[in-house]
Structure 1
Amino acid sequence: MPASYTETEPLRDNVTESGYVSGSSSDDTPPEIALTRPHLRFLNRQLQFLEAQDILRWCITTLPNLYQTTAFGPSGLVILDILSKLNVPRPQIVDIIFLDTLHHFPETLALVDKIRERYPHVTIHIYKPADVDTDEEFAKMHGPRLWETDDGLYDFTAKVEPARRAYRELNANAVITGRRRSQGGKRGELDILEVDETGLIKINPLANWTFDQVRQYIKANNVPYNELLDRGYKSVGDSHSTQPVAENEDERSGRWKGQRKTECGIHNPLSKYAQFLIDQERKRQEEALSQAIESQLAIDLS
């Protein structure tokens, strides 16, 4: 179950909006892990001085129902490799959650097979958008190029909902992510340990690392990586919204180039999706009203 804060200093406000991140739903059973705000601050003060290996060792020996969530970007690959080499008192393999949006590059999907071969003891749980298995089925159900016509709905359908479903079905308490402060944007003030509005614990063991450190680790340890990295892609997402970047550009500047967005929604606050739902309902009502007016005008003119 996700974590929660104790009643002495609750994480959530008295009124919490539902929605726009991966995690539990109102139908889930109560959380099992409780953290107070002072405890969270204390843990972050301690963890920020530890090496990534020690942070991951702490996770494995402390947090039950722990998973790694990754699209097999450079940071996620480093974490996977470190985990595979840890010597801990209570050995535990951390399973992977991979969100197959049905719009990944072929190189990304080919990498999944390489990862299975290199790390055979790690289970990869693949979650796709609900009720579809191919990009053709996705387009038939949601319309062509949904990421252009309604990028908020695309993010929710292809990423957020599958992530929430994965955490719920796998009973995840905590997830390890590859986010780093050096990636910029909202990640610039990233903590090692977070608890989102759903109570899900998120651990960012490479928060202090730079892209060069990640790249050096991959090379030194012969870690399989996405071939697109050799073609100027420092951050790889969906094929329709990812471009290569120049040497002097920010690492994630090739994601959603020309747009203001920097996150796909999985790590956005709950209120973002709540507002999205409100906007969708308002749009639906406006369209219904417009159609009703047009119908009435047609009757009056007939």
Structure 2
Amino acid sequence: MSPVAETSSKASADAKIRNVVENLAKINQRLGEADPREILEWAIDNLPGLYQTTAFGLTGCVTLDLISRISSDRAAKSGEAPKHLVPLIFIDTLYHFPQTIDLANQAAKHYGAPMHVYRPPGTSTVNEFEAKWGTSFWEKDEETYDYLVKVEPARRAYEELGVRAVFTGRRRSQGADRASLNAVEVDETGLIKINPLMNWSFAQVDEYVKANGVPYNELLDMGYKSVGDWHSTALPGSGDAGERSGRWKDKAGKTECGLHKDYFKFKLVAEKKLREAELARKDEAKDKVEQAQDGQQPTQQDVAPVAA
């Protein structure tokens, strides 16, 4: 694309986004009781730079299936070859269950959906992550962990891919902060978030999956209700009735991982802690050098990874 065409394309995209932001209340009034397909089609028609961010929870899988059907219907109507209209972004935290990774690859292939995978900065394996930040980092500083494995990779994906709007898998029936969702939201960074299945209950999502043969995480058949990282996901107890029961079970009051919190505040706190951790590591390295020069042997505690 020539510089002139690129500038024109960006100006057109900016104008579309600005129009949505300026008319947000009217749009949400119109889509307030809309079914998922209507919300999806509105977004496809009106939002440039549109992607689906998903960890392949049940709602995300239904959204993916519906987008595939819309894509096929539109291709058939125009006489063109089918093309999945909304690319995927999958944040691989490195601590997903193997079943989740398998599902991500299976679903992307099944629907012919382009999938962009992002991981924590500077790491692509658990060993690399733990060499840098130590083992069980989520136990030492869970919020900074969330920033490293989810928030930063997501923001990097949005910037590198030119993302202006994303589909999410949030629904009102999930409760907590999600109970008052609108169809279309604009976050503090200007990113537009669309919640196409906001009006559906878990029963409706589950019914759609079964009726349409949608690929889903096999852990749900084992009793799990909401699947995240393996260390923050547990089987619900007998008294756990909520749709997200089993997530952060030992973290009283936690309902979100950071992706739907104020990005700038979250980043500010996390980066401060990361700087402090880096200084601590440098001090530790300096102490080791001094000990070696003095003929001292570092203890096991001295060589343990330092986390934020």
Pairing partner for 1:256 from 244, 248, 253: 248
Pairing partner for 2:91 from 92, 99, 103: 99
**Aligned: 1:70 with 2:54:** yes
**Aligned: 1:110 with 2:110:** no
Secondary structure class of the residue paired with 1:45: helix
Distance 2:44 2:271 in 1: 39
Q: Closer, same or farther in 2 for the Cα pair 1:61/1:281, shift >3 Å?
A: closer
Distance 1:129 1:277 in 2: 14
1:212 maps to what in 2? 203
Distance 1:243 1:257 in 2: 7
Secondary structure class of the residue paired with 2:243: coil
Q: What one-letter code is carried by the residue in structure 2 that aligns with 1:46?
A: R
Distance 1:62 1:156 in 2: 30
Distance 2:64 2:189 in 1: 25
2:176 maps to what in 1? 185
1:298 maps to what in 2? none
Cα drift, residue 270 of structure 1: 3.2
Distance 1:83 1:188 in 2: 24
Cα drift, residue 85 of structure 1: 0.5
Asked whether the equivalents of residues 101 and 128 of structure 1 are also in contact (C-alpha less than 8 Å), the reply is yes
Distance 2:275 2:191 in 1: 30
Matches for 1:1-302 after TM superposition, within 5 Å:
32=14, 33-35=17-19, 39-86=23-70, 87-88=73-74, 93-119=85-111, 121-246=112-237, 248-259=240-251, 260-270=253-263, 272-273=265-266, 276-277=269-270, 280=273
Whichever structure has more helix as a proportion of its residues is 2
Distance 1:73 1:277 in 2: 26
Cα drift, residue 76 of structure 1: 0.2
- Greater relative contact order (Cα < 8 A, sep 6+): 1
Q: Closer, same or farther in 2 for the Cα pair 1:278/1:58, shift >3 Å?
A: closer
> 1:156-196 deviations in whole A, cap 9, x for unaligned?
10000000000000001100001001111111111110000
Distance 1:189 1:123 in 2: 31
Distance 1:206 1:200 in 2: 19
RMSD: 2.7
Asked whether the equivalents of residues 235 and 246 of structure 2 are also in contact (C-alpha less than 8 Å), the reply is yes
Cα drift, residue 97 of structure 1: 0.2
TM-score between both structures, scaled by the size of structure 1: 0.79
Q: Closer, same or farther in 2 for the Cα pair 1:210/1:246, shift >3 Å?
A: farther
Secondary structure class of the residue paired with 2:105: helix
> 1:186-216 deviations in whole A, cap 9, x for unaligned?
1111111000000000000011111111111
Cα drift, residue 245 of structure 1: 1.6
Cα drift, residue 117 of structure 1: 3.2
Distance 1:185 1:276 in 2: 23
Distance 1:109 1:193 in 2: 29
Asked whether the equivalents of residues 60 and 92 of structure 1 are also in contact (C-alpha less than 8 Å), the reply is no
Which residues of structure 1 form unaligned runs of 5+? Answer: 1-28, 292-302
Which residues of structure 2 form unaligned runs of 5+? Answer: 1-9, 285-308
Cα drift, residue 49 of structure 1: 2.2
Cα drift, residue 275 of structure 1: 5.8
> 1:209-234 deviations in whole A, cap 9, x for unaligned?
11111111000000111000011111
1:4 maps to what in 2? none
Asked whether the equivalents of residues 73 and 235 of structure 1 are also in contact (C-alpha less than 8 Å), the reply is yes
Secondary structure class of the residue paired with 1:34: helix
Cα drift, residue 268 of structure 1: 0.4
Aligned-pair identity (%) = 48
Cα drift, residue 110 of structure 1: 1.1
Cα drift, residue 44 of structure 1: 0.3
Q: Which has the larger radius of gyration?
A: 2
